[in-house]
């Protein structure tokens, strides 16, 4: 029976020498060289079944050896779940994609199995909120706190952990429950800002499809941090709350 570990290593070396493999891996700016064997695992199967946006992860499996990891402290790298510390290039180094460790690496006899992943969704919710500065002025005898404006983004889908709320009497606004994770404007995962007041409605804009958006308010709810602390860094802090339409409730074409 062939030695699979040796075969994987040989194939990786041949792919690099023959310029067949365009996949390159680096950690904290240090590229794994010679190139390790990389297997594209595709999209997480759970995403197809549940359509939960937090499962929308594309993953790769890396089989690396000691000579691939020269210059890298393994105990540090294998416990570093911060988004962007691990990166992959699929175009021979022209561009690099920020990734995270999808699970703790496995250390086998002479070989290391590392799984990295990244989300493939974009930010589709913009929330604008006010940040209290702790200073006050008096307006008509009442203390008014000075505030600055802040903005945070999220990648969300209609919640499946709670049913959609419907308000039927009269011409009441529509309200839906959304869940996903906080991102920056480019859709890269990030942690929730500590200055975002929760359980309060804030002006928000939701992308609803067909190049259209809808204005409303978003009320972020209080959540407990995931018990596995790596989850917050690698996929972004959990974002859950209620989006309520304002005005006519009609979508507006994006400019």
Q: What is the pLDDT of residues 62-98, one digit of tens each?
A: 999 888 898 999 999 999 988 889 999 988 899 999 8
92 Rama class: left (phi>0) / alpha (psi -120 to 50) / beta: left
pLDDT bucket at 201, cuts 50 / 70 / 90:
very high
The mean pLDDT of the chain is 79
Residue range 210-239, pLDDT digits in tens:
778 889 999 999 887 666 666 665 667 888
What is the spatial distance between Cα 23 and Cα 36, in angstroms, rounded to a whole number?
9
Q: Is the preceding omega at residue 42 within 30 degrees of 0, hence cis?
A: no
Residue range 158-183, pLDDT digits in tens:
755 554 555 555 545 678 888 888 88
| 106 sits in which H/E element | strand 106-107
What is the spatial distance between Cα 171 and Cα 180, in angstroms, rounded to a whole number?
29
pLDDT at 141: 74
Strand pairing category for 86-89 and 97-101: antiparallel
pTM: 0.68
What is the spatial distance between Cα 38 and Cα 202, in angstroms, rounded to a whole number?
44
């Amino acid at each position: 029976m062939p030695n699979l570990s040796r075969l994987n290593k040989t194939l990786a070396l041949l792919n690099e020498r023959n310029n067949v493999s365009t996949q390159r891996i680096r950690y904290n700016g240090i590229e794994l060289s010679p190139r390790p064997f990389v297997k594209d695992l595709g999209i997480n199967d759970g995403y197809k079944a549940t359509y939960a946006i937090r499962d929308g992860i594309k993953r790769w499996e890396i089989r690396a050896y000691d000579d691939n990891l020269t210059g890298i402290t393994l105990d540090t790298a294998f416990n570093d779940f911060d988004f962007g510390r691990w990166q992959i290039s699929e175009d021979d180094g022209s561009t690099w994609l920020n990734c995270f460790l999808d699970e703790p690496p496995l250390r086998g006899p002479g070989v290391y199995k590392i799984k990295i992943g990244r989300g493939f969704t974009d930010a589709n919710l913009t929330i604008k909120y006010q940040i209290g500065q702790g200073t006050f002025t008096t307006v008509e005898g009442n203390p008014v706190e000075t505030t600055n404006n802040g903005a945070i983004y999220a990648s969300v889908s209609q919640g499946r952990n709670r049913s959609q709320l419907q308000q039927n009497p009269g011409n009441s606004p529509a309200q839906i429950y959304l869940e996903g994770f906080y991102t920056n404007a480019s859709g890269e995962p990030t942690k929730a800002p500590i200055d975002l007041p929760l359980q309060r409605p804030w002006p928000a804009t939701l992308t609803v499809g067909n190049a259209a958006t809808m204005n409303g308010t978003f009320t972020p709810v209080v959540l407990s941090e995931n018990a596995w602390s790596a989850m917050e860094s690698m996929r972004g802090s959990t974002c859950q709350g209620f989006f309520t339409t304002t005005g006519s409730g009609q979508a507006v074409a994006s400019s």
